[in-house]
DNA sequence: TCTGGGGTCCTAGGACCC
DNA sequence: TCTGGGGTCCTAGGACCC
């Protein structure tokens, strides 16, 4: 039987801000941006939550509910730094640690009793260590499965530790709302409510076959979860196994919707560069490029194409993203969001001809040099020539609509 | 309520192959 | 030729998580 900890930082972003500016303590604080910006709340202090402000809420709404709140853009690098500090502490308690996100982690504490004592003692020691070494509060859930520990840490908030004894999993879960189960969101919650199912216990009493029929594979996993078992893809498997990323993406929502072909193309170039850079940093090559397009009315489409050979070059990503864009954007229609995603990631480049290989090698060197310049002088220091110059001019003068047939110059493919 | 950005997983249909 | 079944790859969309 396993002993799994789930550790979750309390109001993480806000708490880190308080470390750097103690005057924020006790105040209603919202991290995510200015109240008049497009965007949502990333984190809200407990004082702000009293006014009904919560994460994922539009900033404008948060401002309406709590006008006196202090709105901050936030400092992502500080959050990463503190996340790293927490990770270091956790590694002293178990060799099997997995950061599930920037502010939460799983630890497999099975077999650590000789070193750290029984689960509850170890959990309190860990809780204390995190507090003294980072000045941050966290909550810890302890049980025999990832799922139950995650639910337990949530119930322990704020600043608490909760141990669900082995064998008590189903009884612990039974009185909770179905929404408390990880993976049950708004839509599934409504579907379950429509069936008269409100508590986890209601689910656990059902036949598995009933849920399987109604919800397919997901229903089967749901039946297991209601009984306290780890079920469903990401809950299975060893803790800390460390899997390779499946996709990388960047997207941008414009302050004001735009139909300006030049602005859109420059954005596409910037996004492609950011994705390409991350691919090179992680030594990965992508075979599939996806464009994401969101219009004024929030309707969103994605269009993807799989390449013959995997790439990590900005130019290849941009070329494909542009093609997809030209094919799918109705010129003149204002765009709210653009996104570029790379997927089907591979550790090695695709098969190329000698000519392609030479071109690709030279580009890689140039781009790595550009990456280094950006490290030193900032993101705006270097940009693909074609991003701000060439293709924009070409399009506005020769092909205003950006229609296929006279696109930007590309090297001929052998 | 006027809705970010970075991810994962699942489903379903069509193409294509044997 | 009026027509099966399974496997794999690809694409699009959607639910969900932090």
Q: How far is the CA of A209 from the C1' of C4 (A)?
A: 29
Choose between A328 and A241: higher pLDDT. Answer: A328
Q: How far is the CA of A326 from the C1' of B16 (A)?
A: 28
Instruction: Calculate mean pLDDT across residues A375-387.
Output: 63
pLDDT of residue A243: 85
CB A172 within 8 A of CB A164: yes
Q: State how far the Cα of A107 lies from the Cα of A120, in Å rounded to an integer.
A: 14
Identify nearest nucleotide to residue A292 by CA to C1′ distance: C12
Confidence of residue A146 (pLDDT cuts 50, 70, 90): very high
Report whether pLDDT(A269) > 50: yes
Both tokens of residue A376? 């030193």
Query: How much of chain A exceeds pLDDT 90, in percent?
Result: 76
Report whether pLDDT(A414) > 60: no
Any strand B atom closer than 7 Å to A254 CB = no
Instruction: Calculate mean pLDDT across residues A60-72.
Output: 97
Instruction: Calculate mean pLDDT across residues A362-383.
Output: 73
Distances (CA, A) of A169 to A163, A231, A247, A257: 10, 14, 35, 49
pLDDT of residue A381: 67
Q: How far is the CA of A247 from the C1' of B8 (A)?
A: 9
Confidence of residue A293 (pLDDT cuts 50, 70, 90): very high
Query: How much of chain A exceeds pLDDT 70, in percent?
Result: 87
CB A266 within 8 A of CB A392: yes
Any strand B atom closer than 7 Å to A299 CB = no
329-348 of chain A touching strand B, CB 7 A cut-off: 336-337, 339, 341
pLDDT of residue A411: 35
pLDDT of residue A355: 62
Q: What count of Cα atoms within 13 Å lies in the side-chain half-sphere of residue A113?
A: 6
* Residues packed against strand C, CB within 7 Å: A 56, 100-104, 182-189, 287-288, 290, 300-306, 344
Report whether pLDDT(A105) > 60: yes
Q: State how far the Cα of A384 lies from the Cα of A249, in Å rounded to an integer.
A: 18
Q: How far is the CA of A42 from the C1' of B5 (A)?
A: 10
Beta carbons within 10 angstroms of residue A256's beta carbon: 7
pLDDT of residue A315: 96
Distances (CA, A) of A145 to A4, A158, A174: 6, 21, 16
CA angle A293, A297, A299 (to 5 degrees): 45
Confidence of residue A238 (pLDDT cuts 50, 70, 90): confident
Any strand B atom closer than 7 Å to A55 CB = yes
Asked if CATH classification 3.40.50.1100 holds for the domain at A247-387, the reply, yes or no, is no
Q: State how far the Cα of A224 lies from the Cα of A204, in Å rounded to an integer.
A: 8
Report whether pLDDT(A407) > 80: no
Q: State how far the Cα of A388 lies from the Cα of A391, in Å rounded to an integer.
A: 8
Q: How far is the CA of A140 from the C1' of C18 (A)?
A: 17
Confidence of residue A113 (pLDDT cuts 50, 70, 90): very high
Q: State how far the Cα of A369 lies from the Cα of A170, in Å rounded to an integer.
A: 56
Q: How far is the CA of A249 from the C1' of C14 (A)?
A: 18
Q: Which of A409, A375, A376, A371 is nearest to A392 (CA)?
A: A409
Instruction: Calculate mean pLDDT across residues A159-169.
Output: 97
CB A142 within 8 A of CB A3: yes
pLDDT of residue A218: 87
Alpha helices in A21-110 (DSSP H): 46-49, 59-65, 76-91
Strand order, beta sheet including A104-108: A97-101, A104-108, A4-9, A138-143, A161-163
Q: How far is the CA of A125 from the C1' of C14 (A)?
A: 42
Confidence of residue A217 (pLDDT cuts 50, 70, 90): confident
Q: What is the pLDDT of residues A304-329, one digit of tens each?
A: 999 999 999 999 999 999 999 999 99
pLDDT of residue A404: 36
CB A33 within 8 A of CB A71: yes
Average pLDDT of the residues of chain A: 89
Choose between A28 and A347: higher pLDDT. Answer: A28
Q: What is the pLDDT of residues A114-135, one digit of tens each?
A: 999 999 999 999 999 999 999 9
Residue A104 a catalytic site member: yes
Catalytic residue among A17, A18, A98, A104: A104
pLDDT of residue A374: 74
pLDDT of residue A410: 36
Domain ranges of chain A: 1-166, 175-236, 247-387
Confidence of residue A389 (pLDDT cuts 50, 70, 90): very low
Identify nearest nucleotide to residue A288 by CA to C1′ distance: C10
What CATH fold (topology level) applies to the domain A175-236?
A: DNA polymerase; domain 1 (1.10.150)
170-189 of chain A touching strand B, CB 7 A cut-off: none
CB A211 within 8 A of CB A184: no
Report whether pLDDT(A412) > 60: no
Beta carbons within 10 angstroms of residue A280's beta carbon: 17
pLDDT of residue A313: 96
Architecture of domain A1-166: 2-Layer Sandwich (3.30)
Q: State how far the Cα of A303 lies from the Cα of A321, in Å rounded to an integer.
A: 9
Protein-contacted bases of chain B (C-beta within 7 A): 1-12
Identify nearest nucleotide to residue A324 by CA to C1′ distance: C11
Q: At what angle do helices A261-281 and A314-328 cross, to 10 degrees?
A: 140
Any strand B atom closer than 7 Å to A249 CB = yes
């Amino acid at each position: 039987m396993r002993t799994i900890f789930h550790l979750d930082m309390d109001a993480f972003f806000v708490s880190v801000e308080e470390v750097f500016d103690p005057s924020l303590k006790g105040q209603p604080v919202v991290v995510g941006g200015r109240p008049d910006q497009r965007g949502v709340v990333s984190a809200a202090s407990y004082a702000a939550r009293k006014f009904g402000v919560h994460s994922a809420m539009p900033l404008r709404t948060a401002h309406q509910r709590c006008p006196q709140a202090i709105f901050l853009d936030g400092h992502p690098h500080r959050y990463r730094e503190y996340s790293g500090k927490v990770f270091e502490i956790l590694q002293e308690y178990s060799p099997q640690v997995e950061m599930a996100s920037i502010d939460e982690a799983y630890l497999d504490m099975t077999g650590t009793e000789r070193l750290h004592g029984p689960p509850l003692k170890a959990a309190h020691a860990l809780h204390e260590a995190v507090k003294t070494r980072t000045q941050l509060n966290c909550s810890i859930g302890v049980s025999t499965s990832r799922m139950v520990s995650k639910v337990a840490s949530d119930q322990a908030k704020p600043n608490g530790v909760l141990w669900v004894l082995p064998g008590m999993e189903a009884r612990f879960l039974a009185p909770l709302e179905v929404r408390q189960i990880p993976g049950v969101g708004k839509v599934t919650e409504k579907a379950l409510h429509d069936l008269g199912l409100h508590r986890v216990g209601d689910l656990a009493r059902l036949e598995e076959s009933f849920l399987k029929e109604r919800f397919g594979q997901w229903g089967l996993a749901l039946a297991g979860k209601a009984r306290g078992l780890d079920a469903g893809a990401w809950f299975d498997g060893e803790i800390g196994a460390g899997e390779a990323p499946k996709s990388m993406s960047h997207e941008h929502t414009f302050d004001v919707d735009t139909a300006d072909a030049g602005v859109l193309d420059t954005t596409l170039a910037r996004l492609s560069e950011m994705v390409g850079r991350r691919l090179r940093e992680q030594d990965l090559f992508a075979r599939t490029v996806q464009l994401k397009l969101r219009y004024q009315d929030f309707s969103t489409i994605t269009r993807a194409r799989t390449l013959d050979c995997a790439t990590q070059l900005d130019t290849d990503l941009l070329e494909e993203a542009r093609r997809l864009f030209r094919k799918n954007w109705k010129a003149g229609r204002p765009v709210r969001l653009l996104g570029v995603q790379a997927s089907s990631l591979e550790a090695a480049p695709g098969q190329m001809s000698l000519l392609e290989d030479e071109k690709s090698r030279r580009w890689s060197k140039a781009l790595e040099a550009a990456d280094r310049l950006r490290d030193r002088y900032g993101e705006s220091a270097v940009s693909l020539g074609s991003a701000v110059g060439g293709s924009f001019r070409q399009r506005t003068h020769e092909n205003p609509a950006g229609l296929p047939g006279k696109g930007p110059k590309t090297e001929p493919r052998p």
